Each structure stands twice: as C-alpha cells, then as structure tokens.
Chains A and B, each alone.
Chain A
C-alpha cells in the first residue's frame, strides 16, 4: 500500500508552482503581500513627520530578539523545503518528519514574540503609547496571525500525510502550505529591518 502511494507520489506530483494554471494559494499570497506593502508605506509616511520619536521608539526594541526570530523562520522555511522535496518523491515518513521539525522550530517564533510583547506591556508600552508602537503592534500582530495560520496549516498537513496516500494531490497541498509558510518568512524579512533597524542605535 505504502509502495503504491510512493509510486503515485513520484509519478503524479506535478509541482503546482510550475503549472500553467493559476494556483489559488499564489493569488492569496500576492494579495496579502500587497496589503502588507501598503502598511509599510503607511509606516514610512507616518515616520516622515515624527522621525525622532520613531527612531527613539525603535531603539527600545530588542534587535537580538528580532534576529533570533528571523533565524527561526528561515530555518523552519528550510525544513518546509525539505518536506516538499520528500512529498514530491513520495516519501511519506520523511515528509511528516520535516513538517514536524518545521512546526517545532516555528513554534519558537511564537514563544519569543509573546515574550517580547509581555516585556513591552510590563513596561506600560501599548498600541496607544505613540504612533510608532501603534504600527509596531499592528504590523507584528497582523504578521503573528499569519504565523498562527501557517502553524495550523503545518499541523493539518502533518496529520493528513499520516492518514492519506501521498499522491500528487496531497503533495500539491504540502506545496501550497509550504508557499504560505514562506510568505510568513518573507514578510518578516521586510518587517524586521523596517521596524527595528532603520534608525541609529
């Protein structure tokens, strides 16, 4: 049974990214990224009128925490690439293993982000403190919701790969989930330097 599933996986797993069709997940991803780009412009425009305040507020953010979060996301992204590779080769156990490792490493982002939020709130810094922090909480909060969505997707895929034959359809679903997870990574790659690193420290 497993061999049949493996054979199906290797023969019919045409990567959705290369198909001539318009994969729904890519439409969703690019639309979402455009919305985030508009938020970037909103932040930079607001910064123009209050540069000193924005730079002063940005200097209170913990760069090491931001770097650590970036490393977590890119490492988790690497594991997802390896999961997609295994899925298209029809290797069920390897796919599940890489999805699980990706989930566990990715969970670290949630832990550090919550630690960062709680440290700020303990100091009395909230969305209402100033415009910089309004954008800080809005941008990182919107990104955090996408992160939670990605974690759920990884968990569901891990479960599905364990229960269903790893055929072309399921390998395509793994690839769709992976594309979404890379978007979470990609957005953070821009959010982190824009919020944390633009001003003098």
Chain B
C-alpha cells in the first residue's frame, strides 16, 4: 500500500505545461535538423519517452500503483523507445 495523494490540479497543470513544451521543442528540433544533426531522431524519441513517462506516472497515477503495474508500463515505455531508436540506428549505420 502506498501513501501517494491524488495528483493535485496544480501539479496536473505543471505536467501539462511540460508536455506542451516538450511537444513544441521536439517539433522545432525536427524541423531544424541541423541543430542536433543526424541524432535528431534519437533526441525526438527520447523526448517522446519522457512525455510518455510523465503521462503514465502522473496523469495515469501509476506512481501510486502496485509495483507489478508500474513495472509493466515502465517496461513497455522503455521497450517501445529502445526498439524504435535501436532499429533507427541500425538502419542509419547501414544495417
């Protein structure tokens, strides 16, 4: 049993502000490819992972869920990001 309180409206708005900033930031990065160069795709997917993690942890309130649920969703996030980045890198290196 955990003692986490519900996410307060104020904290929810802060998480939303992060999600909006990260979305605009990664789109800007993708449209200005020269900034991060060939690693742009990696950065963009890492930002997606952070956004997904924030949604799972705060919006879905998994931070207060039993360990097995936190693990299941956490593994999904890591696996989805790692597979997309891994296959992108493999392709970029001439796979």
**Which residues of chain A are near B88, meaning CB under 8 Å?**
44, 198
Chain A interface, DSSP helix/strand/loop, else mixed:
helix
Determine whether the beta carbon of A70 is less than 8 Å from that of B13.
no
**Which residues of chain B are near A26, meaning CB under 8 Å?**
69
Which chain B residue shows the least CB distance to A18?
B64
**Which residues of chain B are near A51, meaning CB under 8 Å?**
91
Determine whether the beta carbon of B83 is less than 8 Å from that of A67.
no
Give the interface segment out of A116-124, A143-151, A188-196. Answer: A188-196
Kindly provide the distance from the CB of B17 to the nearest chain A CB, expressed in whole angstroms. Answer: 9
Q: A15-B64, A47-B91, A182-B59 are in contact. Are A67 and B44 (CB under 8 A)?
A: no
**Which residues of chain B are near A88, meaning CB under 8 Å?**
6
Contact of A45 among B8, B23, B55, B87 (CB under 8 A): B87
**Which residues of chain B are near A63, meaning CB under 8 Å?**
27, 30-31
Determine whether the beta carbon of B48 is less than 8 Å from that of A182.
no
Determine whether the beta carbon of A17 is less than 8 Å from that of B60.
yes
Determine whether the beta carbon of A189 is less than 8 Å from that of B48.
yes
Q: A185-B55, A193-B26 are in contact. Are A48 and B95 (CB under 8 A)?
A: yes
Q: A40-B84, A44-B84, A82-B9 are in contact. Are A189 and B76 (CB under 8 A)?
A: no
Determine whether the beta carbon of B72 is less than 8 Å from that of A30.
yes
**Which residues of chain B are near A17, meaning CB under 8 Å?**
60-62, 64-65, 69
Question: CB-defined interface of A174-201 with B at 8 Å, one 1/0 digit per residue?
Answer: 0000010010011001101110111111
Q: A63-B27, A182-B60, A193-B45 are in contact. Are A30 and B20 (CB under 8 A)?
A: no
Kindly provide the distance from the CB of B72 to the nearest chain A CB, expressed in whole angstroms. Answer: 5
Could you say which of A44, A47, A182, A189 has the most chain B C-beta atoms within 10 Å of its C-beta? A189
A contact residues vs B (CB 8 Å cutoff) = 15, 17-18, 20, 26, 30, 33-34, 37, 40-41, 44-45, 47-48, 51, 63-64, 66-67, 70-71, 74-75, 77-78, 80-82, 84-85, 88, 179, 182, 185-186, 189-190, 192-194, 196-201
B contact residues vs A (CB 8 Å cutoff) = 1-2, 4, 6-9, 12-13, 15-16, 19-20, 23-24, 26-27, 30-31, 33, 40-41, 44-45, 47-48, 51-52, 55-56, 58-62, 64-66, 69, 72-73, 76, 79-81, 83-84, 87-88, 90-91, 95
